[in-house]
Amino acid sequence: MSRAYSGVERRAVSSSFSGVPAVPESESRPVISRKPRLPGTSLESWVLRGFLVACAAAICYTLRPFHLSGAAAAGFGVLTAAAILAAELRLRWAALSGLLGGAFGAVLGIFAAVLVTLIISRTAEPEPTKSFLECAVLVAFAYLGLVLGSNKAGDLHLETIGERVVGRSAAAVPAAMAPEALKLLDTSVLIDGRIADICEAQFLDGVLIVPQFVLHELQLVADSGDALKRQRGRRGLDVLERIRKMPGVEVRVLENASCSPAGGVDHKLVELARQMGAKIVTNDFNLNKVATVQGFSVLNVNQLANALKPVVLPGEPMRVLILREGKEANQGVAYLDDGTMVVVDGAKRFINKSVDITVTSVHQTTAGKMIFGRVDDRSESGTTVRHAATGAGRGSDAGSLDRGTRAMYPETEAD
């Protein structure tokens, strides 16, 4: 991605800004490799499981279910605890959507089994057969609901439902309790400098965040061997320091950004905006397009400047300074304060002069807005009168000089 400060080699920077050293994250702290720990393998978990087995064995030994003896009852309790632990270890690896879908399906299956058992209880079958059918229906429907609910949970998009619920609850929160409006500053917008004037005019609310990798890139540009790039980088640092000193603006330097170290600054900004739910403030055309395609809000200072350009309608008067001649014959070219080009017919003779014109048409092009006009008749007549007065003055002076010459040299009159 082409940027105004691309081509700068990534090298170590010894300078610092506002007490924060610009050192890469890989060199700022040692990397400690740790073996991943499986869930449920800590000592406390195994102690708790042992306590469960002991409790199950003691309960079964005391109550003696199914007319079992003491040892058999305790063994039955141990087997029951083992089945519970096996289910617990299996459910640890299940996704949240699968757990919710399985629980919902099991509840529906049990409810359907209850309805079926009500019908079975009213039949004329023997009691053992009714008991068997009721137990079989209960187990079968609960199992089918559990399995089908966990398998089909992905089709329900439970995460989307949760996001909608959270979004509605967040919309109901008053504005005073709403989360902070975060805005990520790109390197290009700091180098441009107009962001400081926007902040000073209090058109930006919320918190302005400068990630460490953006600050590091800005320092690399400031330490570049190219004089132009070095000047841009230092201007960006001065602009950032100016924004930090503004009383109504809060600026935070995000030191440890939890984004992938791979990729350029633009990729990291987009990933960080996704994690924080922040808006990106930039002047980069490509970054603006990439972030907009991915659904992120982008504040482009160039678009803001284009939106704030004054609206000029045909027929309006305007006073401009003609700077150079145009491409066509007898044309002059002037520029407004915002850089808009003004092409004036019949203004070639007014180069380096201010002249009143009348707007004839306005054209919007890919490069910007162009205004076409012609010299105002009143301005042209005033200029003609001034030229005539100047010529008359010169003629009278020439006559007086001529009369003085004839008085000093009378022989010239005789000749």
DSSP assignments along 318-331, one per residue:
EEEE--EE-SSTTE
Cβ-Cβ contacts under 8 Å for 170 (sequence gap 6 or more):
178, 179
Looking at residue 296, its amino acid is F
Both tokens of 275, joined, read 């994690």
Angle at Cα 381 formed by Cα 380 and Cα 386, nearest 5°? 100
User: Does 317-375 match 180-307 at the fold level?
Assistant: no
Q: What is the pLDDT of residues 194-213, one digit of tens each?
A: 898 898 888 888 889 998 88
Residue with tokens 């800004």: 17
pLDDT at 356 (0 to 100): 92
Q: What is the pLDDT of residues 371-397, one digit of tens each?
A: 999 998 765 555 544 444 444 444 444
Region of residue 300 (phi > 0: left; psi between -120 and 50: alpha; otherwise: beta): beta
Q: Which fold, 317-375?
A: OB fold (Dihydrolipoamide Acetyltransferase, E2P) (2.40.50)
Q: What does the alpha-carbon distance between residue 223 and residue 15 come to, in Å, rounded to a whole number?
A: 9
Q: Under DSSP, is residue 340 helix (H, G, I), strand (E, B) or coil?
A: coil
**Domain ranges (residues) in the chain:** 43-93, 96-161, 180-307, 317-375, 382-414
Pairing between strand 324-325 and 341-345? unpaired
Phi then psi dihedrals of residue 229, to 5 deg: -65, -40
Looking at residue 121, its amino acid is S
Question: pTM for this structure?
Answer: 0.43
Query: Which is more confidently placed, 364 or 235?
Result: 235
Number of other residues whose CB lies within 10 A of the CB of residue 295: 7
pLDDT confidence of 91, banded at 50, 70, 90? confident
Long-range contacts formed by 273-281: CB under 8 A, 24+ apart: 273/184, 276/182, 276/184, 276/209, 277/182, 278/182, 278/183, 278/184, 278/209, 279/181, 279/182, 279/183, 279/184, 280/183, 280/184, 280/186, 281/183, 281/184, 281/185, 281/186, 281/189, 281/195, 281/204, 281/208
Buried b (16+ CB within 10 A) or exposed e, 210-235: bbbbbbbbbbbbbbbeeeebeebbbb
Q: Is the CB of residue 217 less than 8 Å from the CB of residue 265?
A: yes
Is pLDDT of 410 > 50? Answer: no
Q: Is the CB of residue 191 less than 8 Å from the CB of residue 5?
A: yes
pLDDT average, residue stretch 277-297:
87
Please give the class, per CATH, of domain 180-307. alpha beta
Q: What is the pLDDT of residues 142-194, one digit of tens each?
A: 888 888 887 777 666 555 555 554 455 444 444 444 456 888 899 899 998 88
Query: How high is the mean pLDDT of the chain?
Result: 75
pLDDT at 307 (0 to 100): 77
Buried b (16+ CB within 10 A) or exposed e, 161-180: eeeeeeeeeeeeeeeeeeee
